[in-house]
Chain A
Amino acid sequence: EAGVTQFPSHSVIEKGQTVTLRCDPISGHDNLYWYRRVMGKEIKFLLHFVKESKQDESGMPNNRFLAERTGGTYSTLKVQPAELEDSGVYFCASSHPGGRGVGYTFGSGTRLTVV
């Protein structure tokens, strides 16, 4: 079984530019999550999709962040315009239907550096 795939693995962009991160969940996993870890801080929840619907987006920091999951398969997270404080590692995770804190698989993350 293929794991959760994230692309790109690294991205360096200038402040003010736009970056789009992609996540391909494990096939059949209706639940898809985005998390991020900024330097020196704990991993924090951003949002949760169930299929194509946003179940919980309480962790999205501001309206510069836009997450989509058209068709309920892969997801994208766009940051526009990027700011220096957006630098960090963005993790995607997925779980099977009904997963409530169990059965999560994380992707290897996208390391975003905003300069």
Chain B
Amino acid sequence: RKEVEQDPGPFNVPEGATVAFNCTYSNSASQSFFWYRQDCRKEPKLLMSVYSSGNEDGRFTAQLNRASQYISLLIRDSKLSDSATYLCVVNAGGTSYGKLTFGQGTILTVHP
């Protein structure tokens, strides 16, 4: 079983749509959670951290359920520029505090 699992998609949605991505992680001791975004042939970039209380950044809302080991990302009012691969990322902390564990990514294409 992969440490971080995501639905690879692809998700093809029209502009203005709402789209949700899900992710599960296997290490119950994981301490920090993130969504990264990666454009084609580019480096990953932090989109947002994910907190237990849930957090929002403009059109983006992230949720964490520690009991279910489940993370989600909701994108409202999709823009063409949101087209990218969205990576669910987990950090175990402890002695591996520097190590990020990535999911395989979910591909999103927003079309006119």
CB closest chain-A residue, reference B34? A101
Q: Is A88 an interface residue (CB 8 A)?
A: no
**Measured between alpha carbons, how far is A43 from B31 in the docked complex, in Å?**
19
**Measured between alpha carbons, how far is A45 from B51 in the docked complex, in Å?**
23
In residues 58-105 of chain A, which contact B (Cβ within 8 Å)?
58-59, 91, 95, 99-102, 104
Closest chain-A Cβ to B102's Cβ sits at a distance in Å of 4
**Measured between alpha carbons, how far is A30 from B96 in the docked complex, in Å?**
16
Q: Is B46 an interface residue (CB 8 A)?
A: yes
- A interface size (C-beta, 8 A): 25
Closest chain-B Cβ to A54's Cβ sits at a distance in Å of 10
Chain A residues within an 8 Å CB radius of B57: none
Apart from A41-B104, A101-B89, list 16 A-B contacts with CB within 8 A. Answer: A33-B98, A33-B100, A42-B2, A42-B102, A50-B98, A55-B98, A56-B96, A56-B99, A95-B98, A100-B98, A101-B32, A101-B93, A104-B46, A104-B100, A106-B45, A107-B43
Residues on A lying within 8 angstroms of B by beta carbon are 31, 33, 35, 41-45, 48, 50, 55-56, 58-59, 91, 95, 99-102, 104, 106-109
Q: List 18 A-B contacts (CB under 8 A).
A: A33-B98, A35-B100, A41-B104, A42-B103, A43-B44, A43-B87, A44-B102, A59-B99, A100-B32, A100-B91, A100-B93, A101-B32, A101-B93, A102-B32, A102-B49, A104-B46, A107-B43, A109-B43
